Amino acid sequence: MGAITPLGNSRAAFWEALQAGRSGVGPITAFEPGKLTTKIAAEVKGFDPDALFGRRDARRMDRYAQFALAAAREAMADANLPEDPDVREQVGAIVGTGIGGIITVENTTFEVGPGQKWDRISPFFVPMLMANAASAQVSMTYGLKGPIFAVSSACASANDAFATAYDKIVLGDAIAVVTGGSEATVIPTAMGGFCSMKAMSTRNDDYAHASRPFDKERDGFVLGEGAGILVLEERKFALQRGATIYAELLGYGQSADAYHIAQPDPESRGVILAMRRALERTGVAPESVGYINAHGTSTPLGDLAESQAIERVFGAHAHAGLAVSSTKSMHGHLLGAAGAIEGIACVLALQDGIIPPTTNYEVPDPGCTLDYVPNVARKAPELRIAMSNGFGFGGHNTSVVFAKHEP
């Protein structure tokens, strides 16, 4: 596993910050927010692409692809996959992103300007903006010749990437897939669009406490950026080569709201279907799930819908033994990369027996009545099954189920 996040540029730094309840939110430094109503974000800090990839190669990748390749570098070093060409012909790369190379699009548009100087457009413009650029960079860097493509389903993208990678392995199309999600959208156009939707928190003077999932005083999400990549392998292959196995991906459930392009179904029907299908597909009983890393963006409608859906799916267990937390309270909402780093959080929770908290939880919401692991990480040595939820604009819902690896 590898991670580039607002909480640190490695998996270890990310996990340490989650356990400590540290915030990665601060005033925007990437640009001057001017009259935008939201002037805060969860930015990746201390990231030097020139040092990582060399100036020439770095300039030929959008920031989102840089994040993905940096996270993949850590994951691949950790996985120690055989360099045998026959093996790497059977390894894929499936990286999700909600928007792709939007920084490249914005920068090029500004450079062209009102004079319509189209001849100034870089020959790398299209290769840099492509949603599949991240998976292509990973494939080329590591000589992976299995299924290589992108998944784009808004904020469910990374979970859908996990699901697609799972299917490719089950179908025999790959023995391993480098998969996850990446996003870099802390730019004027994206921020301006979300501000116009009134979707983001305007708690600019108290930025560390701006993202407050399930809290009664939540007022919107905080935009984040980064990437999470894991190496998913067919179990027999992993065991034969003596790989370090952190957890098992048991399966997933997918659904659509078929309701609204940006608002959640108030009756949570799609979200309920995704979680139920995940349980049915994996054969996991509801009472066996010990932890859910919630989508929990800190929006008034979204958090309420998800919380009520969990109650419907898990019944009495939702109030007696099921822990639910949103790590977005610390790292913000990474859009298409959210499910990637949250999936990593689930895997590490299972491995270490520690559930990360929902920070900034201060005023209970009468409509949200679950155990949100408020403010302090919790030891859970008995934890065996965890679920990660990812829901996106357009009504895309995907829940994935991880299990503690039992040798």
One digit per residue, the tens of pLDDT, for the chain of length 407 reads 999 999 999 999 999 999 999 999 999 999 999 999 999 999 999 999 999 999 999 999 999 999 999 999 999 999 999 999 999 999 999 999 999 999 999 999 988 877 777 888 999 999 999 999 999 999 999 999 999 999 999 999 999 999 999 999 999 999 999 999 999 999 999 999 999 999 999 999 999 999 999 999 999 999 999 999 999 999 999 999 999 999 999 999 999 999 999 999 999 999 999 999 999 999 999 999 999 999 999 999 999 999 999 999 999 999 999 999 999 999 999 999 999 999 999 999 999 999 999 999 999 999 999 999 999 999 999 999 999 999 999 999 999 999 999 87
253 close to 273: Cβ distance less than 8 angstroms: yes
SS3 assignment, position 31: coil
Backbone angles phi, psi at 371, to 5 degrees: -85, 100
Strand partners for 230: 179
Q: Look at residues 76, 71, 133 and name the one whose alpha carbon lies nearest to residue 104.
A: 133
Active site residue 155: yes
Q: Look at residues 69, 49, 51, 67 and name the one whose alpha carbon lies nearest to residue 59.
A: 49
CA 22 – CA 222 distance, rounded (Å): 15
CA 225 – CA 184 distance, rounded (Å): 5
- 26, two tokens: 């601060």
CA 117 – CA 139 distance, rounded (Å): 34
What DSSP state is assigned to residue 54? -
Q: Which CATH class is domain 2-240?
A: alpha beta
Domain range annotation of the chain: 2-240, 247-404
- 87, two tokens: 């093996």
Cα–Cα distances (Å) from 208 to 145, 186, 205, 341, in that order, read 43, 17, 9, 20
Q: Look at residues 342, 39, 14 and name the one whose alpha carbon lies nearest to residue 186.
A: 39
220 close to 299: Cβ distance less than 8 angstroms: yes
All residues at 6 or more sequence positions from 3 whose CB lies less than 8 Å from its CB, including other chains: 9, 10, 11, 14, 71, 74, 226, 227, 228, 229, 341, 344
Which pLDDT score, from 0 to 100, does residue 119 have?
82
- Gap between the terminal Cα atoms of the chain: 19
Which pLDDT score, from 0 to 100, does residue 383 have?
98
Which pLDDT score, from 0 to 100, does residue 116 have?
73
Q: Do domains 2-240 and 247-404 have the same CATH topology?
A: yes
CA 105 – CA 126 distance, rounded (Å): 9
Q: Look at residues 104, 95, 99, 65 and name the one whose alpha carbon lies nearest to residue 159.
A: 95
User: Could you identify the residue written with the tokens 């990286």?
Assistant: 95
Backbone angles phi, psi at 67, to 5 degrees: -60, -45
CA 9 to mean position of chain CA atoms: 15
Architecture of 247-404 per CATH?
A: 3-Layer(aba) Sandwich (3.40)
270-274: Cβ within 8 A, 24+ apart: 270/395, 270/397, 271/305, 271/306, 271/309, 271/389, 271/391, 271/397, 272/309, 272/312, 272/313, 273/397, 274/389, 274/391, 274/397, 274/398, 274/399
367 close to 304: Cβ distance less than 8 angstroms: yes
Strand partners for 94: 149, 179
CA 396 – CA 145 distance, rounded (Å): 29
Of the residues 155, 195, 346, 368, which is catalytic?
A: 155
CA 44 – CA 29 distance, rounded (Å): 10
State which amino acid sits at residue 15.
W
Which pLDDT score, from 0 to 100, does residue 214 have?
98
SS3 assignment, position 202: coil
